[in-house]
Amino acid sequence: MIYFLCLVLLCVGIYGVLRKRNIIRMILGLIIAEHAINLLFVLIGYRLNGRAPILSPDGPILQMVDPLPQALVLTAIVIGLATTALLVALAMRLHGKYGTYDVARIRELKG
């Protein structure tokens, strides 16, 4: 069920990137899609009723959560932060040059 929600979240994000005309909304869509994937990554390592894999005196650990995806997702979040900051900075400069956030009016390059 939660996996399915991740997929929905990803689709919402991709929809935002593709369909929105406002630059800021496109960036928001990107952030949503990114966090959908981060969530999925953490879920892959999660086990129901699991606990942290730390050595403890009260017996062996039977159900443990895989810590590696969590570490990786932390890195992915930092990377996402850098990308987002750069894109927002670009959006600000674009607004300064064109006076609008509307991508339909920022298209001097033909692609």
Partner 1 sequence: MSGNSLLIPCFVAVPLAGAFLNSLVGRRVRALPEFLGALAAFILVGLSLMALQSVRADSVWVYQVGGWKLPLGISLVLDGLTAFMLVTVNAVAFAIVVYARDYMERYTSKDLFYTLLLLMLAGMNGVLIAGDLFNLFVFLEIAAVASYALVAFGTERHELEAAFKYGVMGSVASLFILLGIALLYGMTSTLNLADMSQSLAGHSEADLLLMVSALFLMGFGLKTALVPFHAWLPDAHPSAPAPISAMLSGVLIKCLGIYALSRIFFNVIGMSPRVLTLLMYWGALSMMAGVILAMGQRDLKRLLAYSTISQVGYVVLGLGLGTPLGFLGVVLHLFNHSIAKALLFLVSGALEYATGTRDLHNMGGLRSRMPVTHTASFVAAMSIAGMPPFGGFWSKLLIIMAAVEAGHLGFAVWAVIVSVLTLALFAGVMKNIFWGEPGLRWQGVREVPGCMQASMLALALFSLLSGTLLVPGIREKFLLQASAALAQGTNYAHMIMSQI
Q: What is the per-residue binding string for partner 1 in 31-50, x denoting contact by CB under 8 A?
A: --xx--x--xx--x------
Residue 27 or residue 57: which is nearer to partner 1 going by CB? 27
Residue 62 or residue 84: which is nearer to partner 1 going by CB? 84
User: Does residue 59 come out as left (phi exceeding 0), alpha (psi in the -120 to 50 range) or beta?
Assistant: left
- Residue 34 neighbours by CB under 8 Å, 6+ apart: 13, 76, 80
User: DSSP of 16-49, one letter per residue?
Assistant: HHHH--BHHHHHHHHHHHHHHHHHHHHHHT--TT
- CA dist., res. 37 & res. 43, Å (int): 10
Minimal distance, residue 53 CB to partner 1, in Å: 14
Q: By CB under 8 A, is residue 111 in contact with partner 1?
A: yes
Minimal distance, residue 46 CB to partner 1, in Å: 11
Footprint of partner 1 on this chain (CB under 8 A)?
10, 14, 17, 23, 26, 30, 33-34, 37, 40-41, 44, 66, 68-69, 72, 75-76, 79, 82-83, 86-87, 90-91, 93-94, 97-98, 106-111
